[in-house]
Amino acid sequence: MLQRSSIDWGYATQPSPHSCLARDQGRCNWARGKVMGGSSTINYLIYIRGHPRDYDEWEHKGNRGWSYDNVLPYFIKSEDNRNLEKIDTYYHGTGGYQTVEFFPYQDENTIGIVKAYQELGLEYVDQNSEKMIGTMLLQHTTRNGERLSTNGAFIRPIRQKRENLSVQPNSHVTKILIDSKTKIAYGVEYLQKGKLVQAIAKKEVILSAGSINSPVLLMLSGVGPADHLSENGIRIIKDLAVGFNLQDHTTIDGVVFALTNYSATSSNAFVQTKYEKEYDRPDIQFSMDTVNVADFYTDPILTYNTALLPLSYYDGLMLRPILLNPESRGRVLLNSSDPTFGTPLIYANTFTKEIDLLRIVEGVKQGLNLEATHMFKHFGIRLATTPLPACEHIKFGSDEYWACIAMAYTSTIFHPVGTCKMGPKHDETAVVDPELKVHGIKNLRVIDSSIMPKIVRGNTNAPTIMIAEKGSDFIKATWLQKHHEQSANTFQLTDFF
């Protein structure tokens, strides 16, 4: 209901020979929240942080201060976890702005699915601790069962209460103001009620427009790949690899189980396929969406989606194997016919690396083992074996069939990251340094999901909140330090005279 609404930017990927083949015009929808709280206002609410070694890997790539030990306190800082008794308390906190909790009601099918995963040998674990492989009832970014977006959690409590916070709603930022000679960022330009307005920064500019629009805004401001900026007639201030390194968590529509009674979606599992070489890191996540089986099969392009249509009745479960560590990399480019307001060109490049397709197919096959569990039998949950139109020429259930489904009915759980990659100065593919400052530009930071050098093996909202917590400490450290130095200098001068 929230996707493709007025609070969605309404983006879609560019057609590709590898993915989204049976979708409308060969494009997959890539929803992004166009609203206070951004995508956290339209997301599925799942609170998962990623694997500890994901962050160690960031640090290993030259991002000092981003190891799991470094980031864990920031996850805990923002968290107000309402169910400490049911999780591993070492990894969790209370008293932060972001409430995290289990749904107050879990229906019997949800519990049944978790039990079915257990039958397959998966341990019940707190997936936000050191152990991720296993199953769990999900925790969510909700408060008393209601959505708590980052706007609700962090901004609403202080809005109109702090003198140093001014929110300008319904504003479209068109560029960051950067002095081309000094390369100092000094403000932003934005369109509000048809008028171009400028906001001038006293200290620095923070860009948090997300993984599609942060690279777009940098490029519009003269920071990006020189050739692409020139093609669009934009004056180059700094040649940087902006917009590259796009990664996402791909999934597929098409693995449908028919139900005999209702279900909900809050169970989760992380598993390993035979392709995963790391001993404790998952490469596939399983989530379940509710579907109406008849509608599902009569929609030729499968625009059907629980988030698109209100489901007053559902009689199916769609198992989603989600690829956690894609090797394919995409790119975001400006729309040359209208770089400022045109829909950016999203080349997701999904499945351009064959291993990604192999892993998804393997994930499907592991997921199908659920059908043989006592739990699924007990609930009468059966795989729907009608082939989908784009793949009906292939034997149902074969590897080729599932590969066809993946390429035809490609889907996403909307986790694009990486387009303003964090990395040290010597990394030519990096856009920001480990303090999130844009390389070669003064007084400009990017603080959002776009800075992830590599996508984490889990949902991306909690990691983005962590990045924001850490980013705010960088800002404080910079300016409070300068303030102290200035105070100290003033003192010395006073002393001198």
Ligand X SMILES: Cc1cc2nc3c(=O)[nH]c(=O)nc-3n(C[C@H](O)[C@H](O)[C@H](O)COP(=O)(O)OP(=O)(O)OC[C@H]3O[C@@H](n4cnc5c(N)ncnc54)[C@H](O)[C@@H]3O)c2cc1C
Binding site for ligand X (CB under 6 A): 3, 31-35, 38-40, 42-46, 171-173, 208-211, 213, 217, 307, 413-415, 448-449, 459-462, 464
Q: Active-site residue among 172, 415, 426, 439? A: 415
List, in sequence order, every residue forming a beta bridge with 452; answer none if it has no partner.
Answer: none
Under DSSP, is residue 354 helix (H, G, I), strand (E, B) or coil?
helix
336-355 exposure pattern, b = at least 16 Cβ within 10 A, e = fewer: eeebeeeebbbbbbbbbeee
Instruction: Say how far apart CA 251 and CA 115 lie, in whole Å.
Output: 23
Under DSSP, is residue 277 helix (H, G, I), strand (E, B) or coil?
coil
When CB distances to ligand X are compared, the closest residue is 38
Q: Nearer Cβ to ligand X, position 344 or 367?
A: 344
What angle separates helix 399-408 from helix 354-368, to the nearest 10 degrees?
120
What is the nearest approach in angstroms of ligand X to the Cβ of residue 489?
37
Q: Which residues, in sequence order, are CB contacts of 222 under 8 Å at separation 6+?
A: 178, 180, 229, 234, 235, 236, 237, 238
Q: Nearer Cβ to ligand X, position 11 or 409?
A: 11
Under DSSP, is residue 276 helix (H, G, I), strand (E, B) or coil?
coil
Task: Please check if 216 is assigned to a binding site.
Answer: no
Residue 243, phi-psi category: left (phi > 0), alpha (psi -120 to 50), beta (remainder): left
Q: Nearer Cβ to ligand X, position 333 or 361?
A: 333
What is the nearest approach in angstroms of ligand X to the Cβ of residue 342?
12
| Single-letter amino acid code for the residue at 496 | F
Q: Is 484 a catalytic residue?
A: no
What is the nearest approach in angstroms of ligand X to the Cβ of residue 383?
25
**Position of tokens 């098409």?**
254
366-384 exposure pattern, b = at least 16 Cβ within 10 A, e = fewer: bbbebeebebbeebebebb
Task: Please check if 173 is assigned to a binding site.
Answer: yes
Q: Nearer Cβ to ligand X, position 168 or 487?
A: 168
Under DSSP, is residue 334 helix (H, G, I), strand (E, B) or coil?
coil
Q: Nearer Cβ to ligand X, position 44 or 347?
A: 44
Instruction: Say how far apart CA 150 and CA 152 lie, in whole Å.
Output: 5
What is the nearest approach in angstroms of ligand X to the Cβ of residue 341?
9
What is the nearest approach in angstroms of ligand X to the Cβ of residue 247?
12
What is the nearest approach in angstroms of ligand X to the Cβ of residue 494?
44
32: closest CA among 387, 397, 365, 419?
419
Contact between 96 and 78 (Cβ < 8 Å): yes
Q: Nearer Cβ to ligand X, position 384 or 437?
A: 437
Question: Which residues does the annotation place in the binding site?
Answer: 35, 173
Question: Which residues does the annotation place in the binding site for FAD?
Answer: 35, 173
Catalytic positions, written as ranges: 415
